[in-house]
Amino acid sequence: MDIPVHLRESRPRRLVVQVSLVAAITLSVCLALAVLRSLRQRTVVMAVYPEGSLNVGLVKRYQEVLARKGLEVKLDPSAGAVESLSDLRNPKSGVSVALVPGGIATKQDLQELVSLGTVLYQPLWIFSRGGLPHQQLQLTGCRISIGPDGSSSRALSLEVLRSAGWIDQKSTTLLALPPAESAQALIRGDIDTAIFVDGWESPVVQQLLRANRVNLEGIPRADALVRIYPYLNKLVLPAGAVDLAEPRPPTDVILIGPKASLVVRRDLHAVIQYRLLEAAVEIHSTPSMFRAAGQFPASESVDLPLSPYAQDFYKTGSPFLLRHLPFWLAVLLEQPLVWLIPLLVILFPVFRLAPAVYDWAERRRIYRLYSELKRLEDEMFYAADRGGHQDFIERLNRLEDRASHLSVPSAFKPQVYALRLHIDMVRHQAQKSISH
């Protein structure tokens, strides 16, 4: 059985509507899943290092500041920055944030990790029991604590001090004591030297700077070392910085040390990265022994590339949504906007052209029937000469039936009426030619 013409013509329109509906539902589901996924990102895991280091206090500060901003920070104990970098590379570890000094990241880290900028200096502190003879930094034959495996103190001590010839592993006893134990062992005289890579405010550094019979050693040839190792910086601890009256230290002490960066996983949610940067400004922008006010955080990439969100932050600050909305609402809105803004940019010209395309498509359906009518009109006289007038009238009737059942919007109905009127005019003309 033949399908009526008007049903055949409405099928493409129904198909377009169905496809559009499926696309809209699919897009809505994708956006809903993205929103739900972003809402779950209200917790971040940050690596924390052994007691006695400055890292412990700094991470707790981040925990407090971010809690005010609606973000929970969970702490993951780590032996140090080397171990935390390994955890950051592993998405199954759950760790997303760590404070990492320069000089220990590897090429493996470049794929997964980015920096949010540098936040503080971490000098290489070398404390000795009673002072080294003749002001020479020769540690051969000594019992030295250089930090546990996985710590930045151990990694940088072995790299820098061994290359400078100050540590001889054959004659030197290297111990893997954590910071607090190392400081106590040095004060008791159980070890000869303790080495730390840590900030000025570190509890063990402050303890040893004030301890009796413990001296801070300067770094010879510091200028050469900072040229050889670009991630190192030359620092000066002024005489009397610890105690002006004594004074302690009695003379300026030349130090070297890297800058620590706030390192995150590359896939960490953008809103969390912005919140971390805001917290970094609050925590690290105040002046200290080795930094001026506002010097940190800084848009510097030492070992790792700077996150794109960090680049935007240092140029223009936090995004508008984050400055004016609570954390949960900013996360809720940010994810759909990431999808919708480029989508709207693409669809805007489509929306502008859509009415014109739609009008053209509807008119084309009518004009197609007009074309058939024109062909019939051209055939009218040939049909009369050959006696095919009855077939000609039937073809006109079928054309009129199709025009009568043509489903169009109200705006195009006058054109359909005009088409039917023209069909009727051709019919009358054909009947008149037949009667003659």
CA distance 97 to 66: 13
For residue 330, pLDDT beyond 60: yes
pLDDT (average), residues 279-307? 96
Handedness of CA 171, 172, 175, 176 (dihedral sign): negative
More reliable by pLDDT, 154 or 4: 154
Tokens at 68, concatenated = 């005010």
Residue 18 lies in a domain: yes
pLDDT attached to residue 1: 40
For residue 388, pLDDT beyond 70: no
pLDDT digits (tens, 9 = 90+) for 109-141: 999 999 999 999 999 999 998 755 444 566 777
Residue 196 lies in a domain: no
CA distance 177 to 403: 93
Q: What is the pTM (predicted TM-score) of this model? A: 0.70
pLDDT (average), residues 307-317? 94
pLDDT (average), residues 293-317? 95
For residue 351, pLDDT beyond 80: no
Residue 135 lies in a domain: no
Residue 343 lies in a domain: yes
Angle among Cα 395, 401, 407 to the nearest 5 degrees reads 135
pLDDT attached to residue 4: 47
Residue 10 lies in a domain: yes
pLDDT (average), residues 10-28? 56
Q: Which domain holds residue 388?
A: 5-28+338-435
CA distance 110 to 265: 10
Closest-CA residue to 241 (of 289, 199, 294):
289
pLDDT attached to residue 385: 56
Domain count, the chain: 1
pLDDT (average), residues 29-45? 65
pLDDT digits (tens, 9 = 90+) for 389-406: 677 778 888 888 888 888
Residue 138 lies in a domain: no
The Cβ-side half-sphere exposure at 166, using a 13 Å CA radius, reads 23
Residue 380 lies in a domain: yes
Residue 145 lies in a domain: no
| Beta strands 43-48 and 72-77, pairing class | parallel
pLDDT (average), residues 62-80? 94
What element of type H or E holds 196?
A: strand 193-197
